[in-house]
Amino acid sequence: MSENPATPATDEAGRTKADDAPEADGLEAGAQAPAAPASPAPQEAPRLGATAASAAVPRRGGPMFPDGTGPAADPAGSHHERRIRSFQPRRSRVSPSQADALRRLWPKWGRDIDGLSRIDLAEFFDGRPVVLEIGFGMGEATAQMAAADPDTGILACDVHTPGQGNLLGLAERNGLSNIRVANGDAIILLREMLAPGSLAGLRVFFPDPWPKKRHHKRRLIQPEFVSLASTRLAPGALVHCATDWEPYAEQMLEVLSAEPTLENLHPSYAPRPDFRPLTRFEGQGLDKGHVVHDLMFRRRP
């Protein structure tokens, strides 16, 4: 996830603390994909039934959106496999303004990742080419990139309810009609709900590094994930990753370079592009002396 504001503890390096994460398969819905193999990863995802409306569960109990007008707490949990996931539970306190944005804007600009129906991206984004962004924190950088490129749609995927509300509010206040928010597990989104070759790009900025060796299996950028994601990319689509965790940057470079359908646009890491905004999370890492690495690959024809 691109920033992790809902994870309360940090490790000795100031990053997300994963020591207490369960080793058993995760049960909650999330905005990230598993480090374990996704099975299967077909070229075609099945078209199934209609989206089921369900209520979001706030931190202190009781449905947050009892009428189904907001994001669900676990949109695909009852009918998809249990597996190790790369995210922590991210339900936290939602401000009144965020809750208001979710109630008003979710029916138009939001989508639960339930795995039961294919998303028609052309219809959802009024014919724009679409970039999938996995993990967006509170959404400030996503909103800036959307404003700078209004002709490109951004499908922003995460499970952080306050961030979802904040991003929708930013989109409304700034007149950004090219943002849509997806709530749930990115693996299910890619595998079940997006057509092959339908994406113009993929962005993964500052995903959780899971720094402890026993948790590396939870990292998002794994061969199985990259192989699946590549099937959903159109020829020439850009894959852009960024991290300030050196060992994870090395893993990203190795995994992306090994995917035969992708080519690196640079000999190794990419120079920091001007179009990627500097986030508060990135600034905090730079203040700690972390080195940020960008990686830019392109889907081969």
User: Which residues are designated catalytic?
Assistant: 208
Annotated ligand binding at 133? The verdict is yes
Annotated ligand binding at 282? The verdict is yes
Annotated ligand binding at 185? The verdict is yes
Closest CA to 202 of 82, 297, 118: 297
Annotated ligand binding at 217? The verdict is no
Annotated ligand binding at 279? The verdict is yes
> For the chain, what's the residue count?
301
How far the first Cα of the chain sits from its last, in Å, is: 29
Whole-number Å distance between alpha carbons of 100 and 110: 14
Annotated ligand binding at 280? The verdict is yes
Annotated ligand binding at 100? The verdict is no
Annotated ligand binding at 81? The verdict is no
Tokens of 135: 């993990």
Annotated ligand binding at 158? The verdict is yes
Annotated ligand binding at 212? The verdict is yes
Annotated binding-site ranges = 133, 158, 185, 208, 212, 244, 279-282
Annotated binding-site ranges for S-adenosyl-L-methionine = 133, 158, 185, 208
Annotated binding-site ranges for substrate = 212, 244, 279-282
